[in-house]
Amino acid sequence: MILGRILSLHFLLATLAVAEPLTPEAATQLALDNHPDLAAARELIAEAEARASGLGRLPNPEFETEVVLGREGRGRLELGLSQTFPRASRLRLERNVAAESLLLARREVARAELAVVARTRLAVLELAVAQAELELVEKQATLAREFAVAQDGQARAGQISNLDAAQAELLAREAELAVALPRAALTAAAVELSTALGREAEAELTVAVDLALPPEEVAVPPPGVCGDVALAEARLSAADAEIALARSQGREDYRLGVFVEGEQVRSDFGDREREAMLGVRFSMPLPVRSVSGPLVAEKQAARRRVALEREARAREARNAVAAGAAEVRARHAAARAIAAELLPAARAQLAATEAAHARGEVELAAVFRARERLAGIERSDLAARHAYHHAAVRRLSAACCLPL
């Protein structure tokens, strides 16, 4: 009973936690802790550790026995123990390959974590923009409905024609129906964020994100090593270790053994004579031909391929950082122009129109048109800020400055 209550309380707390708006940092941590792709990627490290534990060791010694029986009680029994020893420090080279394999697995996990973080940050941003977009569209629908009600009142008072009131009602209805699109986009963004977090789809997810435009372009920390480039570097180091190991495999192992031999023979007088001997065996393969040439050539070709891939990834990373910086500057300038010029002008125009209406100089329709114009500019401002923040997140991702 007590355990059941504890589980129920835990479930309730988890439900309440889900209902709270997610910050970008909280969403990132949830993705890193719970995403199934990362859990699968981290098993690569366990695989590499298990594989490394079996490398760099001497093979098991071999027990040998030989029994020879002849006529008249003659025979020989031999017991021996042998051990192979690799040449050219192959055990050390195997340990190097194991270490590089473990580093490669860790780089794979780091790249997967960066990808999950970038996707989560973008999903959080898209959901925040969808929330703000829905608020603006609902605001426009409310203004349109208020204008339609006002026009209907004026039509009933005989101040305007019924056609104008009907037109206002049509516009209001159109604005109310237009709310369905941003609502659907909000649901899709919430589902995408759930997927980025590695959880079941939750249409009720909300986020708390500041979409304000910074006064100046945000400085980016010095670029780090891109996940793809770091992975290519690790693959190149692993290829070097495999080439060294392949070269060592052209020299076959030494073999050293000790044995005890007992022999029984019958003498000319019919007596049985027994003799015991202790011996040592040693074998060394002759370097008649190279057996590792094809394997070394294969590993060298693989290294050349990995080196070319590393150069390609490094070039792509440099281009992405440069292009991201240029795009962020352009997006910031465009959004700044809307925030500094259009929005103040639209707000001043609305204030002047409302003042003129209070003095009886303009009709009520002019006030609502000014409000609709302001709402439209606010949507343009949101779109510009959305483009800026989207470019900023992608620039951080390209520069590998996203926090893990």
Say how many Å lie between the first and final Cα of the chain, rounded: 40
Phi, psi of 283 (to 5 degrees): -130, 145
pLDDT at site 123:
92
The reply to whether the predicted model has a pTM over 0.85 is no
What is the total count of domains within the chain? Answer: 1
Distance CA 280, CA 257 (A): 6
Tell me if 144 sits within 8 A of 372, measured CB to CB.
Answer: yes
Residue 17 domain-assigned (yes or no): no
Any idea which residue has 């290294």 for tokens?
Answer: 303
Q: How far apart are CA 300 and CA 241, in angstroms?
A: 11
Number of H helices, E strands in the chain: 10, 4
- Alpha carbon 13 to chain centroid distance? 28
> Whole domain around residue 298: which residue ranges?
23-54+86-251+287-398
Is 221 among the domain residues? yes
Q: CATH number, domain at 144?
A: 1.20.1600.10
Q: Is 13 within the bounds of a domain?
A: no
Question: Is the Cβ–Cβ distance between 353 and 370 less than 8 Å?
Answer: yes
Closest CA to 393 of 380, 402, 382: 402
Three-state DSSP state, 67: strand
Flag whether 6 is in a domain: no
Gap between the Cα atoms of 240 and 245, Å rounded: 9
With tokens 């719970």, the residue in question is 34
Q: What pLDDT score does 3 carry?
A: 35
pLDDT at 8: 38
Cα dist from 185 to 93, 175, 179, 190, whole Å: 56, 16, 10, 9
Which distant-in-sequence residues (6+ apart) come within 8 Å of 230 by Cβ?
Answer: 107, 110, 111
The reply to whether 264 falls in a domain is no
Three-state secondary structure call for residue 65: strand
- Please state, as a whole number, how many other Cβ atoms lie within 10 Å of the Cβ of residue 111: 19
Residue 313: which of 389, 390, 400 has the closest Cα? 400
Q: Work out the mean pLDDT of the chain and round it to a whole number.
A: 82
| Backbone φ and ψ of 142, nearest 5° | -65, -45
- Asked if the structure places residue 15 within a domain, the reply is no
Return the structure tokens found at 273: 């004579």
* Within-domain flag for 240: yes
> Does an H or E element contain 79, and which?
strand 75-85
Low-confidence ranges of the chain (pLDDT < 70): 1-19, 72-73, 88, 217-225, 250, 266-271, 287-291, 401-404
Q: Distance between CA 149 and CA 139 in Å, rounded?
A: 15
| Residue-by-residue DSSP string for 172-222 | HHHHHHTTHHHHHHHHHHHHHHHHHHTS---TT--B----PPPSSPPP-PP
pLDDT per residue as tens digits for the range 96-152: 888 888 888 888 888 888 888 889 999 999 999 999 999 988 888 888 888 888 888
